[in-house]
Structure 1
Amino acid sequence: MSDVEMMKLYSGRILELASDIPHLGRLPAPMATVRKRAPLCGSVVTVDLVMQGGRVTEFAQDVKACALGQAAAAIVGRVVIGRTAAELQTGRDGLRAMLAGGAVPPAPFDGFAALEPARDFRNRHASILLAIEAVAEAAETQ
């Protein structure tokens, strides 16, 4: 990866998001816990959640990932509370579509647009998807 590509990929916005991840840690009594790992880079995200009335009411995440995975986790953390399993699946599918072909993620997951420069770096996609895939899976089990 050239220096120009690296600067494009790790923009100031990505680094800003990565440095401010909401809901870090673990819940004392989660209803669901899902751990996801990106095999290529070794990034890991573990999410805990509690759902009531079909919506996320409590959420925590343990994020050990690259800056792109951290940025994606920050975006998830900002919008996860109050979401239904269907909304989380839509966010997951929207991020996958954006990375695969440039689709625009739906609100409230439109913050994923900050990760659009990573679309051309397929080896980074698994890390970017960890948080939303984990929380969508956890919500599906409830």
Structure 2
Amino acid sequence: MSADTDLIKLYSGRILALAADIPHLGRLDNPMATVKKRSPLCGSAVTVDLDVTDGVISAFGQDVKACALGQAAAAVTGASVIGCTKAQVDAARDALRAMLKNDGPVPSAPFDGFEVLEPARDYKNRHASILLSIEATCEAMEKALQADCA
């Protein structure tokens, strides 16, 4: 299979559709926590704002400046995080990382939408961008929980 065909498969219609319709796009006015993550390799960046109520994400916003793969991953994250606990978000991050780097299984629901990014396994230079939104969400949730306990 040629490199061009591989890239066409990587940027599937589903990935491009997700990238064009990212849930919870935009910043929160007064979030409990904010984290910005940037991929030094490609320059993609994601800023996540969130609020936590009773141990679950109750409000979520994100500013996404990333490639189509990073945008698609942010779309899956945005569609899945409201109502999740820190353990669920951490498990999704770990499973996505394992899926990309170690041929692990697709993350479980509600993050099973990450399966659309399975073709990116072979493109290690894209992994950091794909992980930005979920990693920023994990860090922001940790900050919010610490602030809530203070």
Q: With the length of structure 1 as denominator, give the TM-score of the two structures.
A: 0.98
Separation in 2, partners of 1:103, 1:112: 12
**How many angstroms apart in 1 are the aligned matches of 2:121 and 2:3?**
16
The 5 Å alignment of 1:1-142 reads 2-104=3-105, 105-141=107-143, 142=145
Larger Rg over CA atoms: 2
The one-letter amino acid of 2:36's match is R
In 2, the alpha carbon distance for the partners of 1:59 and 1:107 equals 18
For residue 99 of structure 2, what is the amino acid of its counterpart?
M
Which runs of structure 1 show a deviation greater than 6 angstroms over 4 or more consecutive aligned residues?
Answer: none
Q: Which runs of 5+ in 2 are unaligned?
A: 146-150
Deviation at 1:2, TM superposition (A): 2.0
Q: Deviations over 1:79-132 (max 9, x none)?
A: 110001111000000100000122221211111010000000000000000000
**Separation of aligned partners in 2, 1:92 and 1:2:** 29
Residue identity opposite 2:131 in structure 1: L
What is the CA RMSD across the aligned residues, in angstroms? 0.9
- Farther-moved stretch of structure 1 (95-104 vs 71-80): 95-104
Unmatched segments (≥5 aa) in structure 1: none
Q: One-letter code of the match for 2:119?
A: P
Q: If the length of structure 2 is used for normalisation, what is the TM-score?
A: 0.92
Counterpart amino acid of residue 111 in structure 2:
F
Distance in 2, Cα, partners of 1:94 & 1:32? 24
